[in-house]
Every structure is written in structure tokens, then in C-alpha cells.
Amino acid sequence: MVTAKAWALKKHFEGFPKPSDFDLKTIELPKLKEGGKWKLLLESVFLSIDPYMRLYSRMDMKEGDIMPGTQVARIVESKNPAFTVGTFVVANSGWRTHFISDGKGLQLLPPAWPESLPRSLALGAVGMPGLTAYFGLLEVCKIKPGETVLVNAAAGAVGSLVGQIAKILDCKVVGCAGSDPKVAYLKKIGFDEAFNYKTVTSLDEALSNASPDGYDCFFDNVGGEFSSVAINHMKKYGRIAVCGSISQYNDSVPQKGPYIQIPMILKELQMEGFIVYRWHKRREEGLKVLLKWIVEGKLKYHEQVTEGFKNMPAAFIGMLKGENLGKAVVKV
Ligand code: NDP
């Protein structure tokens, strides 16, 4: 018998999540039986920390539910010949140290995964955030060489890849982030312009200075006030990919902002929200390209690795506060 640890939502978050909103549970897992439904026992090795967990909690969770999320997990026992013991997979089993599975929905890491590459990247640059950046830029922004792209939360999991992919595709890239070390990182990985949105005296001026001609594409991870200012800096026929709105996820009372219709009309903009799973059928194609760019050194990655399953809530709260550079993950 294996005893799993799992983090549950003890109390619905009010505003910013706090440690007392989480509950660490122990769960006895049943033994795998010959001919039974559950054919696999897995242990989580890396767990992903993502902003959507905050958004999802208020829409789809009740108190007592296990926190949602994906992990890279190792198969430790198998009664399914399709999965051998020791294989690593990406699963969507929430904040748990161990779990059982019937094998459905488990995704193998892309073939030709180099030994030298951390498997945690399957949760980041060669995983869902990488695909978000890739398809968001190609299919929603429809970027073309020579265009100017703006991205916010630029030093995070998605944003840092958006900027680099746009550079690979010969665009000019402007990024902003919430600390000076993050801005220095953006310059190091090739952003043309980067600034700290928390310390600039005027966001309006900073956006003008970074690209006096304006922006063809805006990959928006933040929403709220930032977006209300940025929309006025779009070029005529500009495209806005609404990827996330993290500035609003902790709001108990919805924010009210300037309305967007006038700049949308006058600049004839296109604005499109998207969820990365729209391209689930093209997952392998996207991962293959991302892995290739990583191996060639064209795409740099950084991970914020928190050690210890007990620190899941702290890593989650830290990410919402902007403590992560690159992808936030927890190593069990
Ligand atoms: P990040 O790694 O970027 O981490 C979140 C970052 O957001 C923080 O580090 C912080 O960086 C920034 N942030 C937090 N609060 C605020 C705020 N109030 N205003 C501005 N910035 C803030 O996370 P991801 O890359 O995983 O996700 C980025 C965005 O993309 C999120 O909005 C997420 O929901 C969205 N997303 C959407 C997907 C889709 O399919 N549509 C898929 C994946 C992600 P800083 O220090 O710079 O403030």
C-alpha cells in the first residue's frame, strides 16, 4: 500500500492566496490488481506551478478538492504493457506525490529527449507554456518578419519564450517585467528593449520610447491597466493575442477600466482570446520545433525550482507575487 500526499484547497482564496488556504492530506492508494481498472502507479518528480490554478479555483473548485495541475511523473508499477516501469510521462493529476492511473491522458516526453535536458522542461519550454507562446504568436498574432512585438510578464514561463520565438522569426521584441534582474535577463536572452513596469515613471512614455512607431503585435499575459495603456500604442491593423490576465486573477471585485472600442475602431485592431488546447492536435508538431530550438541553443530557458512537495503553496504564492524567473516548478 502506498500513501500519497496531496494538497487540497481548504478555503476559497479571498484576494491573494495564503498558506492557511491549503490543507496537506494523506491518501491511501489501492493496490494495482491484475485485470483491474487501475493499471499504473506513478510518483510525481516535478510539479508545475501555473497562474491558471488561481483562476480555475474560483470557477471550478469546491473546498476540499485537490489542487489541479500537471506533473512529470515516473511509472513505479505497471500492469499495462504500453508503459514500462521507469518511464517518465506528463500527467494531469493535481498536487499529489503519487497517484494511480488507467493510462488515459498520460503523455510520453517527446522522442529524442536528450539525457542532458531536465525533464522538468516538459512542463515549461517543451510543454504547455512553450506551446502557448508558439501557437499564440503563429496562429493568433500571425507575426511576420520585421514586425514589432510587445509582451508583458516577459520574464515568465510563457513571456520569455514569446520574446525569443519572435526574435527567431525576425521580429523586434519589447518586453517588460517586474524587477531589474528580470529586465537584465530579458536583455541577456536577446530582447531588443526591456523595462521594469513597476519603476518606470510613465508606462505610456516607456512604451513610446521602446518603439516610437508603435506595435504590430501585443502578446498580452497581464490584462487590466497595462493593456488599457498598451492598446493606444498599437499600429493600424495591429493584432492583440489575449493570452492571460494575471493582474485580475486575485481581484474579489472586478476592475473597471477604460473601454477599448474607440482604439479598436480607429486603429482597426484585431483582438483574440485563446486557450492553448485549441491546438492539441498539433501538440507533437509544436513540441518538436520547441525541442529542436532548445537543442540548437536558439531558445534559452530558466526554471525557478522550489525543492520539496511541502513547499507547493509557497511556490504558488511566490509565482503570483512575481518571485519566479522563467518557469516555476516544484521538485518533489
Ligand atoms: P509566469 O511565469 O509569467 O508567472 C506569472 C508572472 O506574472 C509573475 O512572475 C509576475 O511577473 C507577473 N504578474 C503577477 N501579477 C501581476 C500583476 N498584477 N501585474 C502584472 N504582472 C503580474 O506565468 P505563465 O508564463 O505561466 O503565464 C503567463 C500568463 O499566461 C498568465 O496570465 C497565464 O494565465 C497565461 N497563460 C495562458 C494560457 C492560455 O492557453 N491562454 C496558457 C498558459 C498561460 P512580474 O515580476 O513581471 O510582474
> What pLDDT does residue 188 have?
98
> What pLDDT does residue 198 have?
98
Which among 131, 221, 251, 279 is the best mutation to test ligand 1's pocket, defined by most ligand atoms within 8 Å of the CB?
221
Mean pLDDT of the chain: 97
Question: Distance, CA 260 to ligand 1 centroid (Å)?
Answer: 22
pLDDT digits (tens, 9 = 90+) for 40-57: 999 999 999 999 999 999
For the structural domain made of 128-277, what CATH number should be given? Answer: 3.40.50.720
Nearest protein Cα to ligand 1, atom 48: 178
Question: Distance, CA 142 to ligand 1 centroid (Å)?
Answer: 21
Question: Distance, CA 245 to ligand 1 centroid (Å)?
Answer: 7
pLDDT digits (tens, 9 = 90+) for 54-105: 999 988 999 999 999 999 999 999 999 999 999 999 999 999 999 999 999 9
Give yes or no for a contact between 331 and 306, defined as CB atoms under 8 angstroms apart.
Answer: yes
- The CATH number for 2-124+301-331, chosen from 3.30.70.3280, 3.30.450.20, 3.90.180.10, 3.40.640.10, is 3.90.180.10
pLDDT digits (tens, 9 = 90+) for 270-293: 999 999 999 999 999 999 999 999
* Ranges in the chain annotated CATH 3.40.50.720: 128-277
* Ranges in the chain annotated CATH 3.90.180.10: 2-124+301-331
Question: Distance, CA 34 to ligand 1 centroid (Å)?
Answer: 44
> What pLDDT does residue 178 have?
98
